[in-house]
Amino acid sequence: MSALRLGLLGMVAIVLVGCGERVQTIPPGGERKADTPVWENKDKRFLAPGWTPGDQNSWNAQLVDRAQAQNDYAPRK
Amino acid sequence: MARMKFICDAERCIECNGCVTACKAEHDIPWGVNRRRVVTLNDGVQGERSISVACMHCSDAPCMAVCPVDCFYRTPEGVVLHDKDICIGCGYCSYACPFGAPQFPTNGTFGLRGKMDKCTFCAGGPEENSSQAEYEKYGRNRLAEGKLPACAEMCSTKALLGGDGDVVADIFRTRVLNRGKGSEVWGWGTAYGRPTQGTPGAAPAPAKKS
Amino acid sequence: MLTKPGMTVSRWIDGVLEKNDLIDQDSNLRGMFFWGHAPNSQTRGAEMKRAMDKLDLLVVIDPYPSATAAMAAMPGTAGDLNANRAVYLLPAATQFECAGSVTASNRSLQWREKVIEPLFESRTDHMIMYQLAQKLGFDKELVANLKMVQGKGGMPEPEIESILREINQSMWTIGYTGQSPERLKAHMRNMNVFDVKTLRAKGGVDKETGYKLDGDYFGCPWPCYGTPELKHPGSPNLYDTTRHVMDGGGNFRANFGVDRDGVNLLAEDGSHSKGADITTGYPEFDHIFLKKLGWWNELTDAEKAAAEGKNWKTDLSGGIQRVVMKNHGCHPFGNAKARAVVWNFPDPVPLHREALYSTRPDLVAKYPTHDDKKAFWRLPTLYKSVQEKNKDIGKQFPLIMSSGRLVEYEGGGEETRSNPWLAELQQEMFVEINPAAANDRGIRDGEQVWVKSPTGAKILVRALVTERVDRGTVWLPFHFSGRWQGVDMLPYYPEGAHPVVRGEAVNTATTYGYDSVTMMQETKTTVCQVERATA
């Protein structure tokens, strides 16, 4: 295309960029919050017995054991 | 490391909706938002089957892939959660999800969608575990209490299994072996037919009547 | 009045509406107490409305009184309404607002704890009963054996443990005597010692009372014979001869005598529960039998005093049951054969008799129903005359109408349809209709239809077209109320007391028909026609 056209297009682009376009990046403080690991729980009121809050391995073992309650073929108290 | 999964044993599901009610009660979910639903196929006919469906916490979650504001995240246990404070209610995740898990409360004028709400595997959200803020936005955090999702633990027939993927798969496998059937409900072959040897894209075999 | 069986709940409306000279008591029914009862669970709803209007007194005692209240308040047939009718709504406490024992359908009893004090103006059922007895003047007699305690607001009510103890001291025949409040509470505190498959306690000592749980079946399922001290474990399965009677075993009772027409009704030699001292059939135990066997002196002096002249059902000391079961392994109610031929029933063996309202006149002719009864539970009860009159009803009403239950709702439904989580699961009343029957009537799935019955009543419901019912049958759930023949009853509910979901009651349209022995109402088979609702 002709140099005039190119120049015109270039000017339109510059004007558009310059005129009041909103920033589309997430502002600081607006990012997704980091989630606390699930085995850490400060609230002690409703904890299932048998594991230690804060201990990941204890939590893992607790959930694996609890899942066996869904198994009719497992001998369980 | 545990990777959390659901599996619903279609041989056992009796369409009691206990799971649905347990979820509603546990998280005080408003009318119109259905985190979990029971889907019944061939209702009223021989071979009728039901399964309970909610978010499947996909390893490669389509909802996460399409979200324009990147509000989804996956916990180390494989639970797919999202941040309601960032969610813009666009509904794109709802289009992407093959299970219809993302739900939108209708509120406000012009039928505006509210923040997306979905099954959290009873793992709450980004707020502090078991805090009041977490409860109000996302419901109860049972995983942080050392428990499994309310729906699975309340299931009257233990059709809906929830927990570490290895453990629930093993439980399901033991059941299938003991009763000799029930696994054919799932799988590529059931959905699309088994391809004949060596011919790519062969016509699907008729689905086995279960 | 009190010396013969009364009217059954299924016929209360006839007690009100029937001609006075045809009922077997002096006056018609004038007052009704709906105590935890749903009106839409009874048949002939249209006639029920007329009966409700004619009453002098209607009292509704329920945590959710709405359906009865609305049905009583809505306008009925002109001229029916009794100007003197007084309607009272008394709020009763829910299961969370009171403690006490409850029996499950496996016959186990559990002790329920109170979670909160009764809210607003509600009171416990036993407080309401006591206060009613006070008004009627027999309160002292009612609570003669009961300890009184302070209930809500300082008002006296019988202690709930006392009430169970009174039951324990009197219900010897069905074995409701061993389940004391102490045993039940100990069970609840120690649920972990019970095996989840057999429901039997493996060891265990209750920390609070020192009670040894070993051997008990959870909740001491009745029959649990003898006094609580006898520590009968309860009976997990009835008539199990592989077990000793003190281990939950049993045999068939000797309830019909020793022989009939020369045929021995007692068990044959060798047929008995494990370890029984008597290895043949034997009759029920009484003081004479005990003396004959030489077992009388095994009773204590106190037991002898109570058991003299009595039998296993009337010996209030429980001594006869104790000696017979613990010392000799025998069953207090005897050891007999089960009856396959019930000679005192109208049909000694079950026979098919076609329903009063049937679409098959040929089957009516082949399997006719019973003759009319002049006075059955105090009321004339019709069979043959109704069936004859409706022989050809199938021409106008060609579909069999059956009704039943859903999972998400319970009973009359006012309580469960007030729960938003359950209500969301089934938001509308419906009729299940076969695709062929629907197509013949131009009905598509989801459309509104009128279901009309021979009573003249018609209900407006949504069609659920499904293969679940065959071409000649339709099925409706009975849990709905709050709409009456197309009209929303919302204006007649006490303000704010209406449930989340309302719908037509199938029983508004159901018909006359009662069992020949129990007077159970016919809800499973009558006839109807279904028509697409236009406009």
Encode pLDDT of A17-68 as tens digits: 555 666 666 656 666 777 889 999 888 889 999 899 999 999 999 999 999 9
Encode pLDDT of B26-76 as tens digits: 999 999 999 999 999 999 999 899 999 999 999 999 999 999 999 999 999
Planar angle of CA A71, C205, C202, nearest 5 degrees: 40
Point out the residue among B25, B31, B44 whose CB comes nearest to the CB of C467: B44
Amino acid B109: pLDDT: 63
Amino acid A4: pLDDT: 79
List of domains in chain B: 4-192 (3.30.70.20)
- Candidates C196, C405, C406, C407: best to mutate against B (most CBs of B within 10 A) is C407
Residue B186: C-alpha distances to residues B9, B59, C47, C485 (Å): 9, 18, 53, 46
Looking only at the bridges linking them, the beta strands covering C86-91 and C57-62 are parallel
Measured distance CA(C457)–CA(C527) in Å, rounded:
12
Q: What is the DSSP string of C315-338?
A: -TT-HHHHIIIIIT---TT-BBPP
Looking at residue C91, its amino acid is: P
Cis before residue C283, ω within 30 degrees of 0?
no
In which order are the strands placed within the sheet that holds C86-91?
C31-35, C57-62, C86-91
Return the closest-CA partner of residue C499 out of C423, C415, C426, C418. C418
Exposure on the CB side of residue B206, measured as CA atoms within 13 A = 2
- Candidates B16, B19, B21: best to mutate against C (most CBs of C within 10 A) is B21
- Measure A10 CA to nearest chain B CA, in Å: 29
Point out the residue among A39, A40, A67 whose CB comes nearest to the CB of B148: A67
On average, the pLDDT of chain C sits at 96
Looking only at the bridges linking them, the beta strands covering C503-504 and C482-484 are parallel
Amino acid B185: pLDDT: 75
Contact C304, C319 (CB under 8 A): yes
Inter-chain contacts counted by CB atoms under 8 A, chains A and C: 3
Encode pLDDT of C3-49 as tens digits: 899 999 999 999 999 999 999 999 999 999 999 999 999 999 999 99
Hey, how many other C-beta atoms are within 10 angstroms of the C-beta on C199? 16
Amino acid C298: pLDDT: 96
Q: Is B110 in a helix, a strand, or coil?
A: helix
User: C90: which strand partners?
Assistant: C61
Regarding an ipTM greater than 0.95, the answer is no
Beta strands in chain B (DSSP E): 4-8, 37-41, 49-53, 72-74, 80-82, 160-164
Q: What is the DSSP string of B122-140?
A: TB--SSPTT-HHHHHHH--
DSSP letter assigned to residue C216: P
Q: What is the mean pLDDT of residues C153-181?
A: 96
Amino acid A20: pLDDT: 62
Chain A residues touching residue B163 (CB < 8 angstroms): 63-64, 66-67, 70
Confidence of residue B194 (pLDDT cuts 50, 70, 90): confident
Encode pLDDT of C322-380 as tens digits: 999 999 999 999 999 999 999 999 999 999 999 999 999 999 999 999 999 999 999 99
List of domains in chain C: 241-337 (no CATH), 361-532 (2.40.40.20)
Q: What is the mean pLDDT of residues C504-508?
A: 97
Residues 6+ apart with CB under 8 A from C135: none
Encode pLDDT of B159-192 as tens digits: 999 999 999 999 999 999 999 887 777 777 777 8
- Measure B50 CA to nearest chain A CA, in Å: 19
Amino acid C349: pLDDT: 95
Confidence of residue B113 (pLDDT cuts 50, 70, 90): confident
Amino acid B202: pLDDT: 47
DSSP letter assigned to residue B204: P
Hey, how many other C-beta atoms are within 10 angstroms of the C-beta on C65? 23
Contact C271, C241 (CB under 8 A): yes
Measured distance CA(C460)–CA(C485) in Å, rounded:
6
Neighbours of chain A (3+ CB pairs under 8 A): B, C
Hey, how many other C-beta atoms are within 10 angstroms of the C-beta on C138? 12
Beta strands in C382-486 (DSSP E): 399-404, 430-433, 448-452, 458-465, 473-477, 482-484
Residue C413 has pLDDT above 50, yes or no: yes
Contact B57, B6 (CB under 8 A): yes
Amino acid A28: pLDDT: 62
Residue C304 has pLDDT above 60, yes or no: yes
Q: Is C132 in a helix, a strand, or coil?
A: helix
- Candidates B151, B167, B168: best to mutate against A (most CBs of A within 10 A) is B167
Per the model's pLDDT, the better-predicted residue between B113 and C79 turns out to be C79
Contact C494, C87 (CB under 8 A): no
Residues 6+ apart with CB under 8 A from C351: C367
Portion of chain B with pLDDT greater than 70, in percent: 89
Return the closest-CA partner of residue B18 out of B137, B149, B122. B149
Encode pLDDT of C126-157 as tens digits: 999 999 999 999 999 999 999 999 999 999 99
Looking only at the bridges linking them, the beta strands covering C100-103 and C373-376 are unpaired
Contact between B21 and C425 using a beta-carbon 8 Å cutoff:
yes
Encode pLDDT of B141-159 as tens digits: 999 999 999 999 999 999 9
A75 touches C at CB < 8 Å: no
- Measure B56 CA to nearest chain A CA, in Å: 17
This prediction's pTM: 0.89
Looking at residue C328, its amino acid is: H
Measured distance CA(C51)–CA(C42) in Å, rounded:
13
Amino acid B114: pLDDT: 85
